[in-house]
Structure 1
Amino acid sequence: MLNRRKMLQTMAAGAGSALGFSLLPERLLAMPKLKETPKRIVFFMQNQGFDPATCIPEGMKRSGSLAKVKLPEPISPLEPYKERMHIINGLHGIHTSPSHSAFFGALGGYRGSDGVPPSAATIDYELSKILPQTLLPHLCIGMDSMENMTTKPTIATLSASGAGQPIFMHSNPNHLYQMLYGGISTGNIRRHHEARSNVFNQIEKLAASKGTSLPTADQQRYGQFVEGFKEVNGLRDRLDSVADHLRKFAPKVDGRYTSPEHETDWHDVLLDLGISSLTSGITNTLTIGSGRGEIFGAWKGLGIEQQGHNLGHMEQPGNPIWIKIRQYNSRMLVRIIEALESVPEGSGTMMDHTLIVYTSNNADKQHTSGANWPVMLLGNFDGAFKTGCFTQLDGKRPINSLYATLLEAAGVPCEHFNMNEKLARKFDSGSGPLQELLV
């Protein structure tokens, strides 16, 4: 049974971490007017592996243009957008020991395992610090079975802000909607939002006043939890301050939120919330975990009765189940593209300044060694990346080199992302960005 102090610590840690920001006030800036291009990035991580045969056009063995080839059936919804696509094959993640999943190592480029805390910040968080600041620099959403999303509405398996500092994913769209748009809502959503806000305000005051009586060794740790509540309350206040702006972007709440027929209803509205956080300017970095970085996952709404670990033991190429799942993912990617294309920005649209990274948290398949880690990019990040092409690498450069490339495109040169010299000598045949990907 939790005592009051333990309960407060758990609530504060979960609240601050679930929002995806460090406990520093300057990390939450109220949508400043910026001179630089407001770039943004989306990571879509599917569990159970990403078999290269499900994304590489048939007969394509060498790097080349996608213009005259047909995309494989699993990603066929992306056919109209293949001129904006870059398919990459031949990266590796052997050093992450992925097997069922690399967990934090998939986006961190280091050894990961079930229940093992992150050893460094992941690439999505690092980019969220570099890109133009927003109200909520980094948002993570996770999609799973209805049971898992209900019993564990937040979970941390993929993203981290530093060593031992996981970032939680939101899996209950009702909770996430209250956090993002509770201040502009009516009815039960508004009442729940106000009740939750009052509780958090009271806890912050109580925690701040009681913490001074603790031993010196505990005061610093306790202070972090107090800061967690301050950040939650501060974010709410900042969102409320731009309420008129947010009303233009808030998704419509319907029965899929409160009475979902299948888990895919929640998947769909979670995606709506993620998209709205981008188009409204709430965030510039969105991480989507389909399967939430674990070995579970369900898609009964697609007519698929099998779920969980069993899906990972099925061959993906030509498998009607995995064709449905991958096409569902592809349609989600299309929804993101279409939404960002509909919003003017600069001389073009939001999509012109966005990059979508689609891959898996355990390389090419379940029980993988990580020797091949396929990736799809969509968009060019304000002209930084080549598009409409396929690149075949030789398997000697790690996923870390892709992340170094993303940092380069964001304006921060990086030789070896999350790799010391010893690891780099062993696992990376080169250094710096992958020039094959950049314009």
Structure 2
Amino acid sequence: MARRSIPRRTFLRGVGATLALPLLDAMVPALSAGTASAATPVRRLGYVFMPMGADMTRWTPPPGEKLDKLSFILDSLEPVKQYLTVVSNLELRNAYPGTHATSNAAFLSCARAKHTESNDYYLGTTVDQVAAREIGRQTQLPSLELSMDMMQTVGQCDNGYACVYQNNLSWSSPTTPLPAEAHPRIVFEMLFGEGGSKADRAAALRRRASLLDFVKDDLSRLNGELGAADRARVDQYLESVRDVERRVQKAMADVKDKSLPDLDRPVGVPASYAAHARLMFDLQLLAFQGDVTRVTTFQLARETSNRTYPEAGVADPHHALSHHGNDPDKVARMARINRFHVSLFAEYLQKLKSTPDGDGTLLDHTLLLYGSGMGNPNVHDHVNLPAIVAGGTAHGMKGGRHIRFEKTAPLANLHLTLLDKAGVRVEKFADSSGKIDGLFEPLGI
């Protein structure tokens, strides 16, 4: 290239705000001398937690290794089927005795939660934090922890377990849970605020109409260094940021017109669950696109959540339906909630697929695990867990398949395999017995 290259860690800056940029052609020469390039893209990991298991009869694909036909719960994933592998017959052995608290706590730790209602809780370092220590060192945020619910519950929540086990997916050590954020405005400030306390960043961002107005001078200077293709890519990215910002602002403006929110939803978020979830997924997409973080976790709802889902045509509280007593009507309604959650994940995958990143897309360069720490919630078991691996074709993910183990295998084996493909080399994770053969094609990495 005749024009000089710009560093990957280039930001547009304004007072109190900073905007990371997506990977541009103008960055590739600089990257080729460093640790990443178009040929060796940034590696990312994302984890999405679905509470209270699933109706596995409507989740599990028909027999066969190929995903020729998707099940009722998974059918919204059809447009991205070639990027998916459904993994069946995984188990969380350390989640027993079966509880909601241990389902949530063990999903990313595969560790046994200490039975306590006090503050002497003890679990294990979660897989996302193992990854963040390695692939998160070069980013603004080593990891991003998100949820859909407020963390208002304290004390004892489930069978003598402290609420901390249900409130937090991510733990940086056995005694350090990482609280997740459910408020889109706060997440936006985390991604695009610069320096100072949360209050300082929030005040700076609110002093102006738009983040993009605040960085327009820096943007003008940058455009002079970019080719036509890069300018178009930046314009597309900025429009995505603008769209998310508009939706965040609308949610805040709507607060005064709302009736009392449900107990699980923070004040100042979109009124509908789907609109809130889509916004939280889009914030993760922007975080990946701007390389603000390379590791995310997202809790679609807390275990024992009594949220209802009228958008899915289900008026019953989710937790009550999960204890269905094998009533066919209740099981069918629970399956509709499962299907609704999966449909939102499917939309996210399609957006990742349509977002360019280096020599492919964000979906090509991101490995995602969607699943639950519970199988059949009616009996609180932790075997035959619902689990989907998505994306990662640049890392050798085959996709379009269903892997079913004849004998139960530890969920930790899947975590260990995904860590390895993300470039995080560890010999063992929790109760793992080895990596999963056949999930990826060999790439010599």
1:384 counterpart residue number:
396
* Aligned amino acid, residue 78 of structure 1: L
Distance in 2 between residues matched to 1:108 and 1:191, nearest whole Å: 34
Which residue of 133, 140, 147 maps to 1:142? 147
Using a 3 Å threshold, how does the CA distance of structure 1 residues 317 and 76 change in structure 2: closer, same or farther? farther
SS in 1 for 2:407: coil
TM-superposed deviation, 1:53: 2.1
* 1:197 CA displacement: 11
- Specify the code of the residue in structure 1 equivalent to 2:340: Y
TM-score by length of 1: 0.69
CA contact (8 A) 1:51 1:317 kept: no
Secondary structure, counterpart of 1:394 in structure 2: strand
Aligned length: 348
**Distance across 1 between alignment mates of 2:348 and 2:280:** 12
Superposed CA offset, 1:83-107 (max 9, x none): 2211111111122224224232111
- Name the CA distance, whole Å, in 2 between partners of 1:37 and 1:149: 36
Question: Counterparts of 1:387-402 in structure 2 under 5 Å?
Answer: 387-402=399-414
Q: In structure 2, do the counterparts of structure 1 residues 192 and 391 end up closer, same or farther at CA, with 3 Å as the change threshold? A: closer
5 Å-filtered alignment, 1:26-37, equals: 33=31, 34-35=36-37, 36-37=40-41
Single out whichever of 40-49 and 377-386 deviates more from structure 2. Answer: 377-386
Residue of structure 2 equivalent to 1:50:
54
Q: In structure 2, the residue corresponding to 1:74 is in which secondary structure?
A: coil
In structure 2, do the counterparts of structure 1 residues 248 and 326 end up closer, same or farther at CA, with 3 Å as the change threshold? same
TM-score (normalised: structure 2): 0.68
Please tell me the residue identity of whatever aligns with 1:48.
M
Which of the numbers 294, 302, 308 marks the counterpart of 1:292? 302
Deviations 1:17-43 (CA, angstroms, capped at 9, x unpaired):
xxxxxxxxxxxx999953442011211
Q: Percent identity?
A: 22
Q: 8 Å contact 1:92–1:395 — kept in the other structure?
A: no
Query: Hey, what's the Cα distance between the residues in 1 that align with 2:123 and 2:271?
Result: 39
Q: 1:89 to 1:345 in 2, by over 3 A?
A: same
**Which residue among 341, 347, 352 is the counterpart of 1:340?**
352
Q: Structure 1 or 2: larger helix share?
A: 1
Q: Over aligned residues, Cα RMSD in angstroms? A: 3.7
Partner of 2:223: none
Distance 1:93 1:149, change over 3 A: closer
Shift in Å, 1:252? 3.1
Residue of structure 2 in register with 1:215 after alignment: none
Q: Where does structure 2 lack aligned partners over 5 or more consecutive residues? A: 1-19, 23-29, 155-163, 208-213, 220-233, 255-269
Alignment-derived partner of residue 157 in structure 1: 168
What is the CA distance between 1:258 and its match in structure 2? 4.2
Question: What's the CA shift for 1:151?
Answer: 8.9
Q: 2:123 aligns with which of 119, 143, 153?
A: 119
1:252 is aligned to 245
Contact 2:142 2:294 (C-alpha < 8 Å) held by counterparts: yes
2:271 maps to 1:270: no
- Distance in 2 (alpha carbons) for counterparts of 1:142 and 1:114: 24
Q: Which residue in 2 is equivalent to 1:193?
A: 202
Q: Secondary structure at the match of 1:90?
A: strand
Deviation digits for residues 334-357 of structure 1 (CA, Å, limit 9, x no counterpart): 222222222222321121111121
**Compared with structure 1, are the counterparts of its residues 432 and 240 closer, same or farther at alpha carbon in structure 2 (3 Å cutoff)?**
farther
Which residue in the other structure is 2:436 paired with? 434
Q: Which residue matches 2:105?
A: 104
For residue 83 of structure 2, what is the aligned residue in structure 1?
84
For 1:119 and 1:160, locate their aligned partners in 2 and report how far apart those are by CA, in whole Å.
8
1:96 counterpart letter in structure 2: A
Which residue of the partner structure matches residue 45 of structure 2?
Answer: 41
> Matched residues in 1 for 2:434 and 2:123: separation?
21
Q: Which residue of 2 aligns with 1:72?
A: 71
Q: Structure 1: 5+ residue runs without aligned partners?
A: 1-28, 199-238, 420-427
Code of the aligned partner of 2:360: G
1:318-374 deviations in whole A, cap 9, x for unaligned? Answer: 844334323322222222222222222232112111112111132342542313223
Describe the superposition over 1:412-438 as per-residue Cα deviations: whole angstroms up to 9, x where unpaired.
44443124xxxxxxxx6xx32011323
Task: Tell me the CA shift for residue 142 of structure 1.
Answer: 0.8
Question: Is 1:128 equivalent to 2:132 in the alignment?
Answer: yes
